[in-house]
Structure 1
Amino acid sequence: MYFVNWQREISIKEIDGKKVVVKRNKISKNLHDYLIAISYNILSILLAHPSAPPELGNKMTSNEGTEMREKLRSIGIPTPSLILISDNLLIEEFIPGGNLHEALSNGSDFSLAFSAGIITGRLHKSGYSFIDNKSQNFLVSPTRRVLRTDLAFIQKKNSIFARSMDIGSFLGSLLGLDIRRYKVVQDAFCEGYYSEVKTPIPYLSIPLRNILGFGLSLSSNWVVNVLQDSEKLISYRRKLGFSVKSP
């Protein structure tokens, strides 16, 4: 099996009789990382919450390493086991269930989105943010356990903008779902998040969801979900006692 994404060439191989995921950096990876970082900075300025871009380089390699994975597990965020890491190569445990985006697109148990909300909330409670929190960065095991992979952009940031980026990028990556399925997934994620943090979902999550969704899941469903669902999400946040105003 072989997969390609923007930053890495990904293949499934066998080592000592066990399947593993091999991720090799593309030549263009540094450019793509820079574009993500500068986009983060530009969006924060446009939304009146100027924030420094995420750290790149060695920080990204460190985030994928054993120490960060152990820290995440200690706060209840499971990750695939790391086998090998270098500047240009990462090998980790193979999770046969695929990623969360595929699972939700195929109509799998929507409680998986609830679990993703819990994971996101736990990281925010610890003072960190994923920054790149799209649904493709969550994996689903055969036992329906949700794990977090692609950890490179994690930052010790807990600002309104950073937390909104996490929620907005997750929901934005799923705007391509049909309206009924998307609504159930969105509600499940928000409920999972709230069950963990007991604090308002940052109000910037809605505009960031719409902006990021344009690039992550542009389709006719994106248009329908953006037009029909923004007010519903605001109403949902009010129902849970969330403020929709800037503090």
Structure 2
Amino acid sequence: MFRSLEWRTNSIKVEDAEEGRVLIKEFDVVKPTLIFTLYNIACFVDNLLNLSIVKTEDYYFPSLRERVENEVKAREILSGLGVKCPKIHWRKENVICMEYIDGKTVLELYRDGSLEEVYDVSKRIGFEVRKVHEAGYAFVDCRAENYIMRDNGEIYRLDLEFFTKKTRFRSLCDIVTYDVSILGLSEDKCMTAIRGFHDGYGRKLSKTELAYISLFSSIYPLSLKEGVDEIANRASNALTLLKESIKDLNLLKLLKSLTSKMEE
């Protein structure tokens, strides 16, 4: 279902080699072009809403060469921050051969694990993302599928081709893509994961992030071939987040107050 729109932007193969089991990633050109066209449109709209349309630092359209180089540079930076990533064995113009990490993606872990596990792992990821942002960098794409956990509890960060210097909008993208990626979970696990991530990151969701989550979640199922249950969960969880934001803003009280004044 909608396979041509899948978010995976590259060809991935797992093979046996002298180094052991390896993952070979061949970089695609077409899908990232489409994704970053959407990214830059969203960036334009965001700058427009913030009255900073001439601000160009948020726009980002990495070339194929830059995406490959980002994978290498990111590992050098992240290793210094204590963030684990698969080692690169070799690379060519548009291909990277890296260490194969045996384990579950964090999204799979959330589906199968307990609420306590979901909270703990999500909090660890939120703390790591905060460290990366404080160091001046951003992933741009921070979905739960881009993390994998080994049986020993070590969490590895995958897919670093969009890793770049931090801006306000790129940091926002990290938070939004993470939260959107877990909306298809059951409500208890989704809200637990969001709470854990933001506890680790050090702050709650902002109104701007909630708005982008609501918008992006409506098109997200097209990319992941989600089933009926996941799509239903996504809609329900997005609505729950919106309701919570309304409570936080006391909009309901304000509306009631205005209504009572009009009646007087």
State the one-letter code of the partner of 2:164: Q
Q: Decide which moves more: 214-223 or 93-102.
A: 214-223
Cα offset for 1:202? 5.0
Say if 1:98 and 1:60 are closer, same or farther in 2 by CA, change over 3 A: same
State the one-letter code of the partner of 1:137: N
Segments of structure 2 that go 5 or more residues without pairing to the other structure are 1-5, 251-264
Note if contact 1:167-1:209 (Cα within 8 Å) is conserved in structure 2. Answer: no
Query: Which residue, out of 212, 215, 220, partners 1:211?
Result: 215
Give the equivalent residue in structure 1 for 2:38.
39
- Deviation digits for residues 127-147 of structure 1 (CA, Å, limit 9, x no counterpart): 111111111111111112211
Note if contact 1:38-1:53 (Cα within 8 Å) is conserved in structure 2. Answer: no
State the one-letter code of the partner of 1:165: C
Note if contact 1:81-1:93 (Cα within 8 Å) is conserved in structure 2. Answer: yes
Query: How many angstroms apart in 1 are the aligned matches of 2:248 and 2:63?
Result: 36
SS at match of 1:78: coil
Q: Which has the higher helix share?
A: 2
Give the equivalent residue in structure 2 for 1:64.
71
State the one-letter code of the partner of 1:8: N
Query: Which residue, out of 191, 194, 218, partners 1:186?
Result: 194
Residue 88 of structure 2 corresponds to residue 82 of structure 1: yes
SS at match of 1:182: helix
Higher relative contact order (CA 8 A, sep 6+): 2
Note if contact 2:175-2:209 (Cα within 8 Å) is conserved in structure 1. Answer: yes
Say if 1:211 and 1:79 are closer, same or farther in 2 by CA, change over 3 A: same
Query: How many angstroms apart in 2 are the aligned matches of 1:158 and 1:237?
Result: 27
- Give the RMSD, CA atoms, in angstroms: 2.4
Say if 1:91 and 1:174 are closer, same or farther in 2 by CA, change over 3 A: same
Note if contact 2:74-2:163 (Cα within 8 Å) is conserved in structure 1. Answer: no
When the two structures are superposed, what TM-score results if normalisation uses the length of structure 2?
A: 0.77
- Deviation digits for residues 204-235 of structure 1 (CA, Å, limit 9, x no counterpart): 22122222223334601111001112343677
When the two structures are superposed, what TM-score results if normalisation uses the length of structure 1?
A: 0.82
Give the equivalent residue in structure 1 for 2:260.
none
Segments of structure 1 that go 5 or more residues without pairing to the other structure are 239-247
SS at match of 1:204: helix
Cα offset for 1:177? 0.6
Say if 1:100 and 1:237 are closer, same or farther in 2 by CA, change over 3 A: farther
Query: How many angstroms apart in 2 are the aligned matches of 1:151 and 1:176?
Result: 24
Give the % identical residues: 22
State the one-letter code of the partner of 1:214: S
Note if contact 1:169-1:208 (Cα within 8 Å) is conserved in structure 2. Answer: no
